[in-house]
Structure 1
Amino acid sequence: MKIAFYGSSLLSSYWNGAATYYRGLLKALSRLGHDITFYEPDAFDRQAHRDISPPDWARVVVYPATPEGLETAARQAAAADIVVKASGVGYADDLLLERVMTHAAPHALRVFWDVDAPATLAALRAAPDDPLRRCLPDLDMVLTYGGGDAVVAAYRGLGARWCVPIYNALDPDTHFAVAPQDRFAAALSFLGNRLPDREARVAEFFLKPAADLPDLEFLLGGSGWDPQQLPANVTHLGHVGTGDHNRFNCSPMAVLNISRDSMAATGFSPATRVFEAAGVGACLITDYWEGIDAFLAPGSEVLVARDGRDVAEILVGLTPERARAIGAAAQARLLTDHTYDHRAREAHACFLRAAQSRKVAAE
């Protein structure tokens, strides 16, 4: 089927944490025979920070971040069998949703794909007249990249016909073990942009252990952090492009995952970083969130910390040999159960089910 997918960016991960998810999932969907066109606005200087070239598994249309550019892109939805509007596109999201669904062909499946469901749901609850909330009953389905039963129940309660989580996963063609590099060497590394609902948790789970363990080296990647506010043993790299993610994850003794506030509270919301790091065989330390054991086994495939003190205690007791064993076990688990090929088959099944429901309703 022809898929018109309207998202933030496929070509750039710059201020765009969903890039890994889009790339892995859409590439896997293309292997199932789907013909994909990805529409992204020329916004937030992302086109100046591209970290992949246009791929051979999707056509990419970059449109001007103007009302006219949006309308031109939205009109192209008419040629698709599946029309997807993702959350957090970044330019006129409400208008884009209305225009692409208006232009969708009568036979086309209409899908909202939420890559930040806890935040989206909080906004919907606060605004009864939100355009997405009004649109939900008319959509064929909502797909999310996390949230579990809580998110499904919330969307159904707001009028969605059907909601299914399609979780983050590993793309083994992109994330795999490489030789470590000295510039990324550290006892613990964390990669994430500075965001309001992440900052306090980074202070607790990363900066506090760094201050408590001054003899260890810590590495911080991501945009927006102020180097002058960091402990002396924390090296700040700034934006780390996806081309360096494997080296970043393979070089330290351990890699830290820190969920944003809303993701941790909702649970069943593993970030892309979980799969990028564990997928290359890194020893992953993560803050606690409900549902961890559905993806990786705590203690043997991932180390779980409930606060910064736990992180510090884990690091003090962690040896390179144990770190390697945990990383190898995690990588094997993801390759067996949690690749984007697994997720694409789940999404494909959703499309077929929705199409069949349409057919039955029309008879």
Structure 2
Amino acid sequence: MKLVVLGLSLSSAWGNGHATTFRALLEAFARRGHDIMFLERDVPWYRDHRDLADPAYCRLEYYSSLDDLERWSGEIVAADAVMVGSYVPQGVEVARFVQARARGVTSFYDIDTPVTLAKLERGDFEYLSPEVIPGFDVYLSFTGGPTLRRIGQRYGSPAARPLYCSVDSERYRPMDVPRRWDLSYLGTYSDDRQPTVEKLLNAAARALPERRFCVAGPQYPSSIDWPTNVERIDHVAPADHPAFYAASRFTLNVTRADMIAAGWSPSVRLFEAAACATPVISDVWDGLDQLFAPGSEILLARSTEDVIAALAGLTAERARAIGEAARARVLAAHTADHRAQELEEHLVEAAQRTATAEKELA
């Protein structure tokens, strides 16, 4: 099929997890024989940090405004499926634009579902509004579980389906590099994640001054008081993520508050670290135990003491076994190839549902 995607970014992974998610998914989708165009809003903060100029698996084009998007109307009309992603600038207007022109299946891919729904509850329609949700043939959500029923029942989606983040298991794999840190964290700053970073990493670092820690990611305020044994790295390019994880005895997974409340919201970083066989210490939320087995595939931490116990109490052999078990789980269920097949199935299902409805009307 011909798929047109209007997403936040494919060209730049700076300050967002959307790019790596789209890259893995669309490359795997292309391997299934499909033709893909990605339309990205040309904005300076991504333009100045582009790390993927010309993907081999899809055509990447830019538009400068909603009016400029009109240049690509023909592609949208001719597509078998059109996908609009979360956090796209002027996303509500983009949704209306697509729904007015597309002749194939239309879908919304929400890589931020709990955040999106919290914004809708507040009347904040930054990139999605209740009025456009029923106009998408399928709502693809990176959150599963009860949230899917809510999208259908409260917002009128004709089909809400899970499409979790995933990982390119060829790029994200174990590496033999020197260990630099006992515990690392890779993630862009956010106000609601920082208290957990403070509790599960900074407090542990202060309690274990002989251990080494690292926090990597942009947009952290200069006002944060980092312990002296916490190294700060402003940005790690996606190509360097596997080496970053490999240099860590353990890595930390921290989840935003809205996503903890919704549950069933695994981040792309969780799958990436697991694919690298780096043992993950994670905060706790509903559904996590259905993705990774606590104690044998992932370690759960509710307190600073839980982190200290893992760092000081687990042998190297036990930690390695947990990391390897997590990688095996990812390879069995959470690679980009798995998600690409699921995406194809969801789009085909939506097309068949539409065709059936049209026959009934005729």
The TM-score bracket by the shorter chain reads over 0.9
Deviations 1:258-296 (A, max 9, x none): 111111121111111111111011111111111112221
SS of corresponding position for 1:196: coil
- Partner residue, 1:62: 62
SS of corresponding position for 2:181: coil
Equivalents in 2 of 1:54, 1:293: separation in Å?
A: 38
Query: What are the within-5 Å matches in structure 2 for residues 308-323 of structure 1?
Result: 308-323=304-319
Query: What are the within-5 Å matches in structure 2 for residues 42-121 of structure 1?
Result: 42-64=42-64, 66-73=65-72, 76-89=75-88, 91-105=89-103, 108-121=104-117
Deviation at 1:160, TM superposition (A): 0.7
- Partner residue, 1:257: 253
Q: What letter corresponds to residue 51 of structure 1 in structure 2?
A: D
Taking only the aligned residue pairs, the percentage that are identical comes to 36
Q: What letter corresponds to residue 285 of structure 2 in structure 1?
A: W
Equivalents in 2 of 1:97, 1:137: separation in Å?
A: 11
- Match for 1:204 among 191, 199, 205? 199
Q: What letter corresponds to residue 191 of structure 1 in structure 2?
A: L
Comparing 125-134 with 40-49, greater Cα deviation is found at 125-134
* Mapped contact 2:99–2:135 kept (Cα < 8 A): no
SS of corresponding position for 1:39: strand
- Match for 2:340 among 341, 344, 348? 344
SS of corresponding position for 1:187: strand
Deviation at 1:340, TM superposition (A): 1.6
* Mapped contact 1:11–1:53 kept (Cα < 8 A): yes
Deviation at 1:94, TM superposition (A): 2.0
Q: What letter corresponds to residue 199 of structure 1 in structure 2?
A: Q
Q: Tell me, which stretches of 5 or more residues in structure 2 are unaligned? A: none
- Partner residue, 1:161: 158
Equivalents in 1 of 2:199, 2:113: separation in Å?
A: 24
Query: What are the within-5 Å matches in structure 2 for residues 289-304 of structure 1?
Result: 289-304=285-300
* Mapped contact 1:201–1:260 kept (Cα < 8 A): no
Equivalents in 1 of 2:302, 2:173: separation in Å?
A: 28
Deviation at 1:61, TM superposition (A): 0.7
SS of corresponding position for 1:133: coil
Q: What letter corresponds to residue 171 of structure 1 in structure 2?
A: D
Query: What are the within-5 Å matches in structure 2 for residues 321-336 of structure 1?
Result: 321-336=317-332
Deviation at 1:74, TM superposition (A): 5.3
- Partner residue, 1:132: 129
Deviations 1:53-77 (A, max 9, x none): 422211111222x343344345641
- Match for 2:242 among 227, 246, 250? 246
Q: What letter corresponds to residue 84 of structure 2 in structure 1?
A: K
Deviations 1:7-61 (A, max 9, x none): 0111211112112211111111112222111111122421222223422211111
Equivalents in 1 of 2:330, 2:145: separation in Å?
A: 22
Q: With structure 1 as the length reference, what TM-score do the two structures score?
A: 0.93
Q: With structure 2 as the length reference, what TM-score do the two structures score?
A: 0.93
Q: Tell me, which stretches of 5 or more residues in structure 1 are unaligned? A: none
Equivalents in 2 of 1:43, 1:333: separation in Å?
A: 37
Q: What letter corresponds to residue 229 of structure 1 in structure 2?
A: D
Equivalents in 2 of 1:320, 1:344: separation in Å?
A: 35
- Partner residue, 1:220: 215
Q: What letter corresponds to residue 102 of structure 2 in structure 1?
A: A
Deviation at 1:196, TM superposition (A): 2.1
Equivalents in 1 of 2:138, 2:43: separation in Å?
A: 27
SS of corresponding position for 1:88: coil
How large is the Cα RMSD of the aligned pairs?
1.8
SS of corresponding position for 1:132: coil
Equivalents in 2 of 1:236, 1:44: separation in Å?
A: 25
Equivalents in 2 of 1:237, 1:189: separation in Å?
A: 11
* Mapped contact 1:201–1:261 kept (Cα < 8 A): no
Q: Relative to structure 1, is the Cα distance of residues 103 and 290 closer, same or farther in structure 2, using a 3 angstrom cutoff?
A: same
* Mapped contact 1:295–1:338 kept (Cα < 8 A): no
* Mapped contact 1:222–1:239 kept (Cα < 8 A): yes
- Match for 1:266 among 237, 256, 262? 262
Q: Relative to structure 1, is the Cα distance of residues 212 and 110 closer, same or farther in structure 2, using a 3 angstrom cutoff?
A: same
* Mapped contact 2:278–2:323 kept (Cα < 8 A): yes
Deviations 1:130-159 (A, max 9, x none): 86210122221100112x222201111211
